[in-house]
């Protein structure tokens, strides 16, 4: 069992006729040497343990640095992907808006064409009605007015 510094200071060596007794001095020196050796060994073991722990700390610091840089890279990549997705969404929305405007223009043009066609057909029907009405008046100068009104009403209904 190692001696403490206090125990070493309070060692009592027996005195003899001409000074301290040799056996008690040698025994005390032996105890101090054993104690010193045990402390020295423990110090060496602790020094080795400190070295191992410092190596582990260095490895953990390196790993932490790597993880931090990986995290920063992942955050940056996620931000880039979000930005790219937003830009793609903007492009899709713009394309959809352009397509919608094109469809509206085409629908308006079709409506205009149909209105023009309807107008043309009405004009043709009115002209045909006028021809029929004028021809019917000439042929039916003395015929039944009710039949003539019915014919005229039917043609006008067709003309719209």
Contact 108, 142 (CB under 8 A): no
**Does residue 32 lie in a domain region?**
yes
Instruction: Evaluate whether residue 155 is within a structural domain.
Output: no
Which of 3-17, 21-35, 65-79 has the weakest average pLDDT?
A: 3-17
Q: What is the pLDDT of residue 39?
A: 86
Residue 17 has pLDDT above 80, yes or no: no
Does residue 27 form part of some domain? Answer: yes
Q: What's the mean pLDDT in 29-47?
A: 87
Alpha carbons 55 and 66: distance in angstroms, whole number: 16
Indicate whether 25 pLDDT > 70. yes
Instruction: Answer whether residue 135 is part of any domain.
Output: no
How high is the mean pLDDT of the chain?
A: 85
Lowest mean per-residue pLDDT among 7-16, 81-90, 149-158: 149-158
pLDDT at 7 exceeding the cut of 80: no
Residue 150 belongs to some domain of the structure: no
Q: Find the mean pLDDT for residues 82-95.
A: 97
Q: Is the pLDDT of residue 53 over 70?
A: yes
Instruction: Count up the domains in the chain and report the number.
Output: 1
Contact 150, 132 (CB under 8 A): no
For residue 77, is it within any domain?
yes
Q: What is the pLDDT, as a whole number, of residue 50?
A: 97
Record the pTM.
Answer: 0.45
* 46 CB burial (10 A radius; 0-12, 13-18, 19+): exposed
Q: Give the pLDDT confidence of 103-126 residue by residue, as tens digits.
A: 999 999 999 999 999 999 999 999
Sign, Cα dihedral of 6, 7, 9, 12: positive
Locate tokens 């402390």: which residue? 39
Nearest to 152 by CA among 123, 136, 144: 136
130 within domain boundaries: no
Residue 126 covered by a domain: no
pLDDT at 19: 75
| pLDDT, average across residues 53-59 | 97
Q: How much is the average pLDDT of 119-134?
A: 92
Domain with 59, as residue range(s), is 5-112
Angle at which helices 22-139 and 145-159 pack, to 10 degrees?
A: 150
């Amino acid at each position: 069992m190692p001696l403490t510094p206090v125990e070493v200071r309070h060692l009592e060596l027996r005195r003899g006729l001409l000074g301290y007794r040799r056996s008690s001095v040698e025994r005390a020196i032996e105890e101090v040497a054993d104690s010193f050796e045990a402390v020295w060994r423990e110090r060496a073991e602790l020094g080795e343990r400190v070295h191992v722990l410092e190596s582990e700390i260095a490895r953990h610091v390196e790993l932490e640095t790597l993880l931090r840089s990986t995290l920063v890279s992942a955050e940056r990549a996620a931000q880039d992907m979000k930005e790219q997705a937003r830009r793609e969404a903007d492009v899709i929305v713009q394309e959809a808006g352009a397509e919608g405007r094109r469809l509206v223009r085409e629908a308006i043009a079709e409506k205009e064409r149909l209105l023009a066609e309807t107008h043309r057909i009405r004009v043709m029907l009115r002209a045909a009605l006028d021809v029929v009405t004028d021809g019917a008046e000439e042929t039916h100068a003395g015929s039944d007015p009710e039949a003539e009104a019915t014919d005229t009403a039917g043609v006008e209904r067709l003309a719209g």
